[in-house]
Amino acid sequence: MRHFTLLLLSVFTVYQAKADILIPLDKYPTGEKRFNLQINGSHDTSTPWLSTTSFGVDEDGQMGNPENWTSEQIDEDNHSVSHRLIMNSISLRLSYRVWDNLSLWAGIGTTNFTHEETFRDDDDLSSTIFSKNMVPIYSGGLGYGHAFTDRFFMSTQPGVRYANSDNMTTEVYYQGKTIPLRDLSLNRRYLEWTVPVVAGYALGNFVPYAGILYKDYTMKDRYEFTKTYAGKDYTVRIDETFHARHKLYALAGVNYFLADNISLGVNGSFGKRQSVQLQFNISLNLLNRYIHENDTQSTSDTADRRIFAYHRLYHHRQGTDQPTSRTV
């Protein structure tokens, strides 16, 4: 069905066509450091799996009721078309440790999408959906770590990433030639969620870790293009929704600490998809030191106030408001 649709649109010269993982941020998942900054670069591949498709045609300025594909048509498409999604991303992330074991993090960065489609029953036909420029991507989540000894720990950092871009296009190739597309606009909304769980062991400045990763996403594409039929132009709208076909993977990595507050790291996830990620982590010592000093001062002030309040209460009971010595 998908093969027929693509070929039909090609004749009319139109066509419709990821962890960041933050583990660990510190050599030890608990401690006084509150702020941590990370620069992260990643290369990620996955297999999108089509879940919904609908078609609509604009007649006299109004989009008609969309025609939704049946589950049988979607299943046929998934088994006749091979999908491959590639994302190259770079991001800047800031984490804040709320308590000893719990932290919150948020990030902003850029990514690009390359979505390749090849047809198993026709080697002459293929397409690529890609970003014309880098796309902003936003992320956030929380982290939790538990230290069992002074070296062994476990941690998890569930999070989400989101991108929304009109800066997309697609190219269709038939028998080695690019088919020109007319008045094509393409919007992509991408929402990803990940849950990594790892165990690590500190070996001097090296902190290796390994575990499992659950990852899924919703990727929604909307195409609009012009098709001419019987001398009249029509606007065609196609909506597609994809999810990740494979969701559970093995995860392994290592961090190397150049200093107590600076580390380099690399990790990868393996299975039906692959991901490689490079990290540069730095603890914001000046800010952490400022907060620590204020916390210390605040603790000292609190203790002084408690002592003073105790003295006032004691001497009030003894008949005086002043914490002065008196002879009984």
**Sign of the dihedral defined by the CA atoms of residues 38, 277, 85, 125, in that order:** positive
Question: Is residue 159's pLDDT more than 80?
Answer: yes
Distances (CA, A) of 64 to 7, 33, 99, 186, 221: 23, 58, 54, 19, 19
For residue 76, the number of C-alpha atoms closer than 13 Å in the C-beta half-sphere is 12
Distance CA 50, CA 72 (A): 12
Please tell me the predicted confidence (pLDDT) of residue 35. Answer: 82
Q: Give the global pTM.
A: 0.74
Domains and CATH numbers, the chain: 2-283 (2.40.128), 285-328 (no CATH)
Distance CA 238, CA 186 (A): 10
Locus of tokens 């030890």 = 28
- What's the whole-number average pLDDT of the chain? 75
Question: Is residue 251's pLDDT more than 80?
Answer: yes
Distances (CA, A) of 102 to 50, 131, 150, 205, 320: 37, 36, 18, 23, 47
**Mean pLDDT for the stretch of residues 311-322:** 39
Question: Is residue 89's pLDDT more than 80?
Answer: yes
Question: Is residue 183's pLDDT more than 60?
Answer: yes
**Mean pLDDT for the stretch of residues 185-197:** 93
Question: Is residue 230's pLDDT more than 80?
Answer: no
The DSSP H or E segment spanning 287 is: helix 285-317
pLDDT digits (tens, 9 = 90+) for 278-311: 777 776 654 454 445 555 444 444 444 443 333 3
Residue 123 tokens, joined = 């080697």
